[in-house]
Amino acid sequence: MLVEREEPLSALFLALDEARKGQGRVALVMGEAGIGKSSVLREFVSSAQKDSSVHCGACEAFFTARALGPLHDVAHGLGPHVAELLRRSAPPEQLFPAVLDSLQDNPRTSVLVFEDMHWADKASLDLVRYLGRRAGMLRLLMILTFRFEEVGPDHPLAQVIGDLPSRTVERVRLQPLSPQGVATLA
């Protein structure tokens, strides 16, 4: 049960509506650890997947980050060409356009979810920058989650976000529950 999360869900559905019109968006879902980012996404995804292609991947807190970890999670859903290029460790100049082509060729609106981007490797950040700078021309909603307190001004993710066209970025910051919300959950 979600409590006091109507506003963030509404923002995601509005961004999805824009993406359906071919005016893609990058939604930044941010908040402290345990605040409910994943719960909001589960609720959103369960509804969005009825008429959109939803692909969910995540970054991990490994000491040695797996390059393009979230893309590995979603590659097969983006088609055999993307999966094969990823398997062969194709360079970004081949792989990234293939991902873009897959999203452009999809007759449905695509929702691409990358969770825990505060742990992202550099290749994943490059992919986000590449897709995010082109999102406004696609039927794409790219959702990135991260812990706000871990992404300071010098964090690589902050730099990537700064490079995205502001008109395509939707910031969704989750706030702590009110005392009434906590009582409702309890």
5: CB partners within 8 A, 6+ apart: 36, 39, 40, 43, 174
pLDDT, position 186 = 66
pLDDT at 3 over 70: no
Q: Report the distance separating Cα 160 and Cα 156, nearest Å.
A: 6
Residue pLDDT, tens place only, 7-56:
999 999 999 999 999 999 999 999 999 888 999 999 999 999 999 999 99
